[in-house]
Amino acid sequence: MPAHLLQEEISPSYTMTTTTTITAPSSRALQNGATKGASKAPLEKDEEGISYEMRDDMFDPTYREKDGPKPKFIYVWRNIILMGLLHLGAVYGIFLLPSSHVYTLLWAFGYYLVSALGITAGAHRLWSHRTYKARLPLRIILMIANTMAFQNDIFEWSRDHRVHHKFSETDADPHNARRGFFFSHVGWLLVRKHPDVIEKGRLLDLSDLKSEKLVMFQRRYYKPGILLMCFIFPTFVPCYFWGESFTHSLFVATLLRYAVVLNATWLVNSAAHMYGTRPYDKNINPRENILVALGAVGEGFHNYHHTFPYDYSASEYRWHINFTTFFIDCMCLLGLAYDRKKVSKAAIEARCARTGEGSWKGR
């Protein structure tokens, strides 16, 4: 069991809605399960029979990049062409905005919000980091929302994301921000992965994902899933229900909306690793970026998130520019989510005093 989970206590103010307050996160080495043979202990199961503890999303300071010249980029032309076409279509969609039916605009915005939640509340906070637990109906909703977002299936997204946290800003980080804004934003999807990303990705503990039937179901039917949920359904609805033109439906509700969700998510990997403050840990690149938090429905508090990846709010705060946390809290009220992990203020304060740059706003 990771050491930080050994030191949990239930916060009295949140026992009604099952929040676990983590009072004293231990060193990264301990959280990595690097000592006491923790990585060999079997994962615990929750009420739904799902292993939920995370071990492989904490930074591993022991990794060293290989010496010598970096391998050359191998371009993936299929991705380059498809991404180019998508963004051309999205730009055309911007010009069609003024002539779109108001319902089409609302539909596109709603689809953006739901598909973004499929990434933030789903692939990110639930499946990559296990920061809270979700009952089957919510996991089905999040799996569908995640398919609407088409950013690789949950298994692949979570694997890449755990490697990103564990080997941040190194060759083994899939979107290593030290290779520049463009690479960490979208470039990493247009070239073959660095060999270290593949090598380290294979060594990760992904047993919780492999044992979750819903995650494997989405992976098996991913291609028809994205065709239907990312492209056909969002185009069909405006045409059928309020007589929108096929062109407006396709370019606004589908291509523009899809490109916006993609770019909002990518900004977390690019802008939030470059621009902003570092109140929690000045030794890492990820930063607090309000604009990214706005676009990525709450995922811009990235200095905090890389410091405390097990916090369900991905932020020190709860509903402050954080629609995803609001959504998870609503799901808790409905009984569909529970056991949200939250770092205590005392632990945050201690961490800021120890490793912050001095810009923490305090209690």
**Residues binding Zn ion (CB under 5 A):** 286
Burial annotation 44-53 (CB, 10 A radius, 16+ → b, else e): eeeeeebbbb
Tokens of 178: 């030290």
Burial annotation 97-126 (CB, 10 A radius, 16+ → b, else e): eeebbeebbebbeebbbbbbbbbbbbbbbb
- Closest approach of Cβ 186 to Zn ion, in Å? 15
Element (H, E) at 330: helix 323-333
Q: Which residue has the tokens 């999807």?
A: 189
Inter-residue contact 146 to 117 (CB < 8 Å): no
**Helices 233-242 and 102-117, axial angle in degrees (round to 10):** 150
- Closest approach of Cβ 175 to Zn ion, in Å? 8
Measured from the CB atom, the residue of 258 and 312 that comes closer to Zn ion is 312
d(CA 236, CA 347): 50
Measured from the CB atom, the residue of 93 and 276 that comes closer to Zn ion is 276
- Closest approach of Cβ 123 to Zn ion, in Å? 10
Tokens of 127: 């499946």
Nearest to 151 by CA among 267, 286, 258, 309: 258
**Strands laid side by side in the 340-343 sheet:** 8-10, 19-22, 340-343
- Closest approach of Cβ 249 to Zn ion, in Å? 33
Measured from the CB atom, the residue of 115 and 254 that comes closer to Zn ion is 115
- Closest approach of Cβ 83 to Zn ion, in Å? 21
Nearest to 120 by CA among 307, 274, 310, 265: 265
- Closest approach of Cβ 285 to Zn ion, in Å? 8
Measured from the CB atom, the residue of 238 and 286 that comes closer to Zn ion is 286
Measured from the CB atom, the residue of 276 and 286 that comes closer to Zn ion is 286
d(CA 78, CA 242): 35
Q: Please identify the residue of the shown chain whose CB is closest to the bound Zn ion.
A: 286
- Closest approach of Cβ 173 to Zn ion, in Å? 8
